[in-house]
Structure 1
Amino acid sequence: MRIGIIGAGSIGTILARRLARAGHEVSVANSRAPETVNTAALTTGATAVWAADTTTDADVVIVSVNMKKIPDVAALVSKAPAGAVVLDTSNYFPFRDGVILGLGDGQTESLWVQEQYGRPIVKAWNTITTASFASKAMERGTPGRIALPVVADDDAHRAIGMSLVEQTGFDAFDAGVIADSWRQQPGTPVYTTDLTADQLPGALAKADARAAARRRELMIQILDERTEAEGTFPGPDFLLALTRVLFQ
């Protein structure tokens, strides 16, 4: 498939590398010129392009930007072919994204994203840290393989999203429709807790939308305090232990 990735940050870079390795024709862009795209994204055959060219003739468009930037890239997404599948990896963090009208405690982030794009989306890859995404990919059938929830209103689009998640090294779990995607937002039991496919259903069922927002903010507070005390951002082991204690 022809896959255009908008956003060449840590997650976008890994996606570009793995999906190109899987045999897809991948183009990737940041908000600047093609030559400024992280070369790590291009090591397996992905091509750096201008952002305006990522959606041209794309079968799949993956948007991997901070939520505050979604209105800025909406015009690019709208230029994708009518049949293109749009996948979104974003999460809402008010400290980083600012207060976004229409979002708040208990509201479904992906419904807002879908409204910005004016077309259906698939939500995927938003529940894993960069560290786990980079280091914990496994072959299908490997015991302990991490599972990632995938939601979409269109069954065919969800199936494509799940196939791509599998190709990046993780079990894909059908988590239903976009209206249910709040169950995988920051602060919920599945968010960055590295669960398996057997563990995921129970964790999704335990999600509490309003508690999730409070737990998300508590996580940020603890990380800020730890960073200030130690002079460096906590490592992945600390972050995993923290999210499991706070969110589950």
Structure 2
Amino acid sequence: MDDRRPASLGILGAGRVGTVLARLAVSAGYRVRIAGSGDPSRVGAGALATTATAQWAGDVAQESDAVILAIPLGRYRELPVAQLQGRLVIDAMNHWWELDGLRPDLADLRTSTSETVQKFLGRARVVKAFNHMSARDLEEEARTPGAPGRKAIAIAGDDPADVETVAGIVDDLGFDPVVAGRLAAGAMLEPGTDVFGAAASAEHLRELLAGFATSQRGIMQARARRS
């Protein structure tokens, strides 16, 4: 086993995305812990149909080598901050105004939502991944390395070692990793971009990322950041 590969993955969020990622991670050989929004006994049967263990959110954060955030982004302030300190945290969350409400802190084009999460979590090591592909595509498009038609997942993070570790997780779960850049580049993966919703090959995903700067969203963001 690669020494950089975490032995265990924690998933905070037992909705559709969290459940799919739990199944993929179990199939890839990870020990998986998962938490919903409260009592572990309320975690759905879809997650527990695997060997994933349902626990309280704080215990999942404390006991896992890496933790995937799959809760609604509007609830990020409910995350167990103390237990996530120093932990590798994979941000798979997205801002949906219909669900999160009108939130200036999540709609600010001068930053990315992952940077907002990083600021809140302090010493946690946040990397953006698994957010731009739908739960259905995550479930249906996972393939072994080198398989025809394999799709790609974009990654954004500041620490090269953490990005490399997350790239390994992405590969293990069935997708080609494509590094988008530093954590600020996570803005290119958010709703409203050409990347968001894409179930694309690595080559096509790189093309979509390269076109961000000249897209309407990219131009708007560049103006906001200059201001």
Q: 1:79 aligns with which of 62, 79, 83?
A: 83
Report the counterpart of residue 99 of structure 2 in structure 1: 96
1:148 counterpart SS class: strand
Question: What per-residue deviation string (whole Å, max 9, x for no partner) do you get for residues 83-128 of structure 1?
Answer: x211110111222111223332534211111112113301000010
Moved more, 165-174 or 95-104: 95-104
Question: What per-residue deviation string (whole Å, max 9, x for no partner) do you get for residues 169-206 of structure 1?
Answer: 11111111111111111121111121111111111021
Matches within 5 A, 1:10-29: 10-29=16-35
Report the counterpart of residue 171 of structure 2 in structure 1: 166
The CA RMSD over aligned residues, in Å, is 1.9
Question: What per-residue deviation string (whole Å, max 9, x for no partner) do you get for residues 47-85 of structure 1?
Answer: 011222111232111110111110111xx1431362x21
Matched, 1:179 2:184: yes
**Where does the alignment leave 5 or more consecutive residues of structure 1 unmatched?**
214-248
2:120 counterpart SS class: helix
Moved more, 187-196 or 35-44: 35-44
**Where does the alignment leave 5 or more consecutive residues of structure 2 unmatched?**
1-6, 219-227
Report the counterpart of residue 132 of structure 1 in structure 2: 137
Report the counterpart of residue 63 of structure 1 in structure 2: 69
- Checking the alignment, whether the CA contact within 8 Å between 1:29 and 1:48 is kept in structure 2 is yes
Matched, 1:120 2:129: no
TM-score (norm 1): 0.79
Question: What per-residue deviation string (whole Å, max 9, x for no partner) do you get for residues 144-176 of structure 1?
Answer: 211110111011111111111112111111111
Same amino acid, percent of matched pairs: 33
Question: What per-residue deviation string (whole Å, max 9, x for no partner) do you get for residues 193-237 of structure 1?
Answer: 211111111110212598349xxxxxxxxxxxxxxxxxxxxxxxx
Report the counterpart of residue 42 of structure 1 in structure 2: 48
Task: For 2:57, give the aligned amino acid.
Answer: A
TM-score (norm 2): 0.86
Report the counterpart of residue 222 of structure 2 in structure 1: none
Report the counterpart of residue 202 of structure 2 in structure 1: 197
Output the CA distance in 2 between the equivalents of 1:30 and 1:14. Answer: 14
Task: For 1:40, give the aligned amino acid.
Answer: G
Report the counterpart of residue 229 of structure 1 in structure 2: none
- Checking the alignment, whether the CA contact within 8 Å between 2:157 and 2:163 is kept in structure 1 is yes
Report the counterpart of residue 239 of structure 1 in structure 2: none
- Checking the alignment, whether the CA contact within 8 Å between 1:61 and 1:77 is kept in structure 2 is no
How many residues of Structure 1 are paired with residues of Structure 2 in the alignment? Answer: 210
Output the CA distance in 2 between the equivalents of 1:178 and 1:25. Answer: 27
Higher relative contact order (CA 8 A, sep 6+): 2
- Checking the alignment, whether the CA contact within 8 Å between 1:147 and 1:173 is kept in structure 2 is yes
Task: For 1:86, give the aligned amino acid.
Answer: V
